[in-house]
Amino acid sequence: MPSPGHRSTSLRYIEDCCPRALDHYEAGVPYDRDVFQVGVAAHAVIEMVGKYPDQPREELAQQVAVALCTTGRSFEGEPEGPLRPQAATAGRDLALRFLAAHELSPSAKFEHGLAVDREWRPVPYDSPAVYYRAAIDMLEVVEETDEDGYATTTIVTTDWKSAWPTSPDELETLQLHGQAAVALAHYPDAQVLRRRAANLRTLAIFEADVYLDDSGLAQVATWRKDIDLLIAVAEHRSEDGTRPARAGATCIGCPYVSRCEPARTWLRGSLLDATPEAVATRLAVADAVRRELWEQAKELCGEGPVSIPGGEVGFLTVRERKPRPDIGEVLALAWFGAADPTTWREANHSTDQWIGLLQTLAIGVGSAEQVAKLLFPSGKGRDWRPLREALVSQCVVSQPATKFSIAKHSTPKEEANDEV
């Protein structure tokens, strides 16, 4: 780890994955960080615009984008490689769009580092005594006096989020709780802590206040305890000096799954170990690896399908079956055996209402097949197969679509079976 102490990014590995993931992080095990690049660029642009409000904004943003995709940036003292130009420009534009909608406070501090020691006392960000620290995207100290002359100091911590799904839930994350708790240590005389999460995509800003009376202070104390607990887990090591690995569903989304030895051990594990727990764990790890490879392959096979033994992988043209718009009505007519829709409608006055209901339920292809099976059950000597097929084809349309997939070339035997 480049600097002493813990921060939300490192503790999140314990929350979202397992303690061994933090070992991988600290050891600098490489993983695909492309997904963060747009956000990195947007943060950098907002920081510079905030720090130099008198400079022409577009020019400043362009300079930041150029620097990011030529020399790269350094994070917490560690140099990082240059960004992809597409990511830098996307981040630049995201930031400018957000800034056009939301002015930054001229008195705010940007990318402001605050740290505490083990007793949650304020210490300099680079102190060897740092226990927990937070780099706050935007920090403001707002002094207000109401008409009765009562003065209030509000500490506002704002976090920029470039993920589309950012919602008010973000306010209750370890990261934002940690920012508020560290801010309180540095501004103990404040009356209010306001934590904010800004969605750079939707331009929405979510916020929540803690009034620092007894109940508010107890709330912040709970957040500190939550962080203390995660730090205790982070500081616990096995006899061999590593943190414990807990392979399983924890591996899904872990950025180290392809390079993690405990996860690989599960994949290589003896197939004779067929206890329910062993098979379930192996399946979860395999699924985690599959998901990671799937995303990686999508990225790498974008230029065209790649031939592999027995088939190909990539964006392939496939036939896709979709429900027709009137699927609900077709199935209803078939179900009630209504040969003539007009007569049937006249005889059943509520028909339109519950056909409307069926349409609203978004009946899928599988449901049409299920109804066809029930109406035309298989049996010797009956013409159930063409009847089923006719009903399904009335409900379903087959059209070409491009889908990322793995195609296995048919063997002559399989082709022969297909024709049966």
Q: Which residues bind ligand SF4 (CB under 6 A)?
A: 17-18, 20-21, 24, 245-247, 250-251, 254, 256-257, 260, 262-263
Beta-bridge partners for 318: 401
User: To the nearest whole angstrom, how small is the minimum distance from the Cβ of residue 161 to ligand SF4?
Assistant: 24
Residue with the two structure tokens 């490879």: 293
User: To the nearest whole angstrom, how small is the minimum distance from the Cβ of residue 24 to ligand SF4?
Assistant: 6
User: To the nearest whole angstrom, how small is the minimum distance from the Cβ of residue 19 to ligand SF4?
Assistant: 8
Residue with the two structure tokens 């993983």: 31
Task: Quote the CA–CA distance of 195 and 172 in Å, as a whole number.
Answer: 9
User: To the nearest whole angstrom, how small is the minimum distance from the Cβ of residue 254 to ligand SF4?
Assistant: 3
Judged by beta carbon, residue 249 or residue 338, the one nearer ligand SF4 is: 249
φ, ψ at 178 (rounded to 5°)? -65, -40
Q: Give the total residue count for the chain.
A: 420
Judged by beta carbon, residue 14 or residue 184, the one nearer ligand SF4 is: 14
User: To the nearest whole angstrom, how small is the minimum distance from the Cβ of residue 309 to ligand SF4?
Assistant: 28
Judged by beta carbon, residue 10 or residue 351, the one nearer ligand SF4 is: 10
Q: Which of 331, 308, 333, 330 is nearest to 408 (CA)?
A: 308
User: To the nearest whole angstrom, how small is the minimum distance from the Cβ of residue 272 to ligand SF4?
Assistant: 22
User: To the nearest whole angstrom, how small is the minimum distance from the Cβ of residue 245 to ligand SF4?
Assistant: 4
Cβ partners under 8 Å of residue 240, min gap 6: none
Q: List Cα–Cα distances, 165 to 9, 121, 198, 201, in angstroms.
A: 19, 34, 11, 9
Task: Quote the CA–CA distance of 401 and 230 in Å, as a whole number.
Answer: 46
Judged by beta carbon, residue 21 or residue 138, the one nearer ligand SF4 is: 21
Judged by beta carbon, residue 113 or residue 248, the one nearer ligand SF4 is: 248
User: Rounded to 5 degrees, what angle do the CA atoms 411, 417, 419 make?
Assistant: 110
Task: Quote the CA–CA distance of 194 and 211 in Å, as a whole number.
Answer: 9
Judged by beta carbon, residue 225 or residue 259, the one nearer ligand SF4 is: 259
Judged by beta carbon, residue 195 or residue 243, the one nearer ligand SF4 is: 243
Residue with the two structure tokens 């109401």: 146
Asked if 280 and 241 count as a contact pair (C-beta separation under 8 A), the reply is no
